[in-house]
Amino acid sequence: MAEPCHSTAFREGGLPPLRPINPEFEAQRAVDAIIVKLSARCNLACDYCYWFRDDSVLGASRLMASLTVEKLLFRLREHIVSHVLSDFTIVLHGGEPLLFPKARFFRLCERLRQLEAESGCTLHICLTTNGVLLDDDWAVILAYFRVSCTVSIDGPPELHDRHRPDLRGRETHPRVLEGIACLRAVGLEPGILAVADPFQDPAALLDYFVTELGVSELDVLIPDAVYGDAPPPIADFLIGLFDHWHDHLADSGLRVRFIDAVIRGLAGLRSGVESIGYGPVTAATITSDGGIEAHDVCRIAGGVASELGLATHPLDAIRDDPSWRRIFAASLELPDECLSCAWRHACGGGHIASRWSAERDFANPSVYCSDLKRFFFHVWHKIAPDLVYVAVEPTDA
């Protein structure tokens, strides 16, 4: 079996060394992105949601209080000024972030853009929403403040509504489509996020997004799962997704972020996403109570409990948080099974949460490992003939 080409070791038939990443440098790098939980509640009851699998979120403030927003703005300014940052990303998240009142959301964005103007630091403000509450007013606010919007929609109505009903079990697909239309009416093209259902036809899924929704970019995520969840196999779905994209849609310009990331990884580059590929996990989360925590998805992977809060700690304090350090270290220290795997650069052990078990913490390959191996093998053999190998000899410079 030919292996991916990352280094001269490939030509010699051995496994390439892991991409050089300096853990000390990465651990000390200033935080450059935060996930902000404007709301700890949601108006939907998605059957795969990681958030409500941790009961403690029900004890958190339903909405981020005004005083907490003030503390957040103070800590952001302090952080940006002290590190002289030129870029910072703020992902507004939940629960469902559009449960946050419009007037307060408007003032928050106004203050963020003011901070941007005063500090000279470009703020990338992003929003991830289920789209149900999007209306004309929200669309105008988001467009006015240049907020990038990502809408979660799992595909055609019957598929979407099976997994993403509202709290009373009712369909939500029509309201999501209305929300997307509101965004497009003000010139905002949302990102599209779909969670894969391994029992569905991936070709029909992509065709729906392209033909019915006119989408040119989207992401398809592997469902969050840890050991003990016994998730259904997903290799056939991923292979079907890739083949349909590669054989029928790539030439039209359709981009699927997960596939992009896999190809980048197989070509020896950083994947650029957290869901797949070898690289450090450094995400920090601000809770609706003003807590500062590690990556929120790791709530299902041993937890992210933290003593830190905006009232008493700067954002960088996260780097000394035991949960953050545990997740960060695990992202760079792959288990033996991964270290001897041909796909370790492109895979990196899969999503960090998918490596967790109660018995071994993160010392496992992904719970989807056998599926990922089949998928990478398939993709590699399909794209390898198109890749041009350029050997760059190391220099002393």
Distances (CA, A) of 40 to 225, 226, 298, 357: 21, 22, 16, 26
Cβ atoms 328, 282 nearer than 8 A: yes
| Binding status of residue 344 toward ligand SF4 by CB under 6 A | yes
Q: Is the peptide bond before 95 cis (omega within 30 degrees of 0)?
A: yes
Site for ligand SF4 in 168-197 (CB under 6 A): none
For ligand SF4, which stretch binds (CB under 6 A), given 143-151, 158-166, 229-237, 367-375? 367-375
Q: In whole angstroms, what is the distance from residue 60 CA to residue 151 CA?
A: 24
Q: Quick one: DSSP state of residue 206?
A: H
Please identify, using beta-carbon distances, which residue of 342 and 387 lies nearer to ligand SF4.
342
Distances (CA, A) of 67 to 57, 71, 160, 367: 20, 6, 37, 41
Q: In whole angstroms, what is the distance from residue 177 CA to residue 165 CA?
A: 14
Among 343, 356, 362, 380, contact with ligand SF4 (rule: CB under 6 A)? 343
Phi, psi of 272 (to 5 degrees): 80, 0
| Binding status of residue 4 toward ligand SF4 by CB under 6 A | no
Among 275, 372, 379, 380, contact with ligand SF4 (rule: CB under 6 A)? 372
Instruction: Name residue 167's amino acid.
Output: L
| Binding status of residue 281 toward ligand SF4 by CB under 6 A | no
Size of the site for ligand SF4 (CB under 6 A): 13
For ligand SF4, which stretch binds (CB under 6 A), given 23-31, 285-293, 312-320, 335-343? 335-343
Cβ atoms 378, 236 nearer than 8 A: no
| Binding status of residue 373 toward ligand SF4 by CB under 6 A | yes
Using CA atoms of 30, 104, 291, 57 in order, give the dihedral in degrees to the nearest 10.
-130
Among 129, 323, 331, 366, contact with ligand SF4 (rule: CB under 6 A)? 366
| Binding status of residue 234 toward ligand SF4 by CB under 6 A | no
**How big is the chain, counted in residues?**
397
| Binding status of residue 347 toward ligand SF4 by CB under 6 A | yes
Q: Which residues contact 342 (CB under 8 A, 6 or more apart)?
A: 1, 3, 4, 15, 376
Please identify, using beta-carbon distances, which residue of 1 and 397 lies nearer to ligand SF4.
1
Q: Can you give the three-state secondary structure of 312-342, one letter per residue?
A: CCCHHHHHHCHHHHHHHHHHHCCCHHHHCCC
* Helical (H) or strand (E) element with 36: strand 33-37
Please identify, using beta-carbon distances, which residue of 209 and 278 lies nearer to ligand SF4.
278
For ligand SF4, which stretch binds (CB under 6 A), given 35-43, 58-66, 75-83, 362-370? 362-370
* Helical (H) or strand (E) element with 382: helix 369-383
| Binding status of residue 352 toward ligand SF4 by CB under 6 A | no
* Helical (H) or strand (E) element with 256: strand 255-256
Please identify, using beta-carbon distances, which residue of 190 and 365 lies nearer to ligand SF4.
365
| Binding status of residue 365 toward ligand SF4 by CB under 6 A | yes
| Binding status of residue 337 toward ligand SF4 by CB under 6 A | yes
| Binding status of residue 235 toward ligand SF4 by CB under 6 A | no
Helix (H, G, I), strand (E, B) or coil at 288: coil
Q: Could you tell me the smallest distance in angstroms from the CB atom of residue 340 to ligand SF4? A: 8
| Binding status of residue 349 toward ligand SF4 by CB under 6 A | yes
| Binding status of residue 261 toward ligand SF4 by CB under 6 A | no
Q: Could you tell me the smallest distance in angstroms from the CB atom of residue 380 to ligand SF4? A: 12
- Contact footprint for ligand SF4 (CB under 6 A): 337-338, 341, 343-344, 347, 349-350, 365-366, 369, 372-373
